[in-house]
Structure 1
């Protein structure tokens, strides 16, 4: 068995995930992990499956023929980073251009990898303006000085007038 990573996108409709799960099962595969979202009438996501290597081509062929999905696949990279700690960052404030750019530039400056990032804009209660919210999981290298990152994130919070919490 060899893992495959699939990225999927298509017009959303009921049954997309079920049809994919059924095909993975039929091809003697095991569903390892997934992350799916709905946005603007479209379905998008990532999926990792462990499937016998002789069935990889068949699954790819089936996915390319699927009328509702566009896919991209890669073989899983079996390397893993072990000397890291996972931290979480939450940001919330009035929406404005540059929030994500400032956050990602700061993380990149410290060579911190983003593992998961979710963001949204929603109507702020009692204000009528948009409220930006983001949640990130990041991988902090071993022996990293967390206070330096905390100070940099505090600087972003002050510059952009947003709340930033590091856990």
Structure 2
């Protein structure tokens, strides 16, 4: 089986995911993982699928001709999971400009890779202002000192007046 990552975007309508899942299935493939969302009237996301090598081109042709989605695909090689550990970061505080920029700049300074990032703004109970929430999953090299990252995140939390938790 050959692993592929599909990125998807298009105007939302019923049946988009089913059309992709059906094609993967008919090509004797397997749907491994996905992160799919509705945002501002559009459907967006990505999926990891496996198909036999002899069916990969047929899947690519189907994706390029899909009538409702813009889809890009790439073949992937699995990462060696022994090279890193996973840490999670949660952020919450009054919404303000620069929270994501400060977090990503800090992670980049230590050459840490973001594996997953989700964020949202919602109305804060009892205040009426927006509350920013984010969750990040990052790859940490086995030899990395988490105390250094913890100190840097604490500095960001103090500067931006947000709560940041590292686990």
Regarding TM over 0.5, the answer is yes
Whether contact under 8 Å (2:157, 2:164) holds in the other structure is yes
Alignment of 1:36-75 (within 5 A): 36-75=36-75
After TM superposition, give the deviation of residue 60 of structure 1 in Å: 1.4
2:34 maps to which residue? Answer: 34
Which segments of structure 1 move beyond 4 Å, counting only runs of 4 or more? none
Tell me the TM-score normalized by structure 1.
0.96
Q: What is the alpha-carbon distance in structure 2 between the residues aligned to residue 93 and residue 18 of structure 1?
A: 38
Q: CA RMSD in A?
A: 1.0
Q: What is the alpha-carbon distance in structure 1 between the residues aligned to residue 85 and residue 28 of structure 2?
A: 34
Where structure 2 has 5 or more consecutive residues not aligned to the other structure, the ranges are none
1:140 maps to which residue? Answer: 140
After TM superposition, give the deviation of residue 62 of structure 1 in Å: 1.2
SS at match of 2:82: coil
1:78 maps to which residue? Answer: 78
Matched length: 167
Q: What is the alpha-carbon distance in structure 2 between the residues aligned to residue 78 and residue 137 of structure 1?
A: 18
Where structure 1 has 5 or more consecutive residues not aligned to the other structure, the ranges are none
SS at match of 1:31: strand
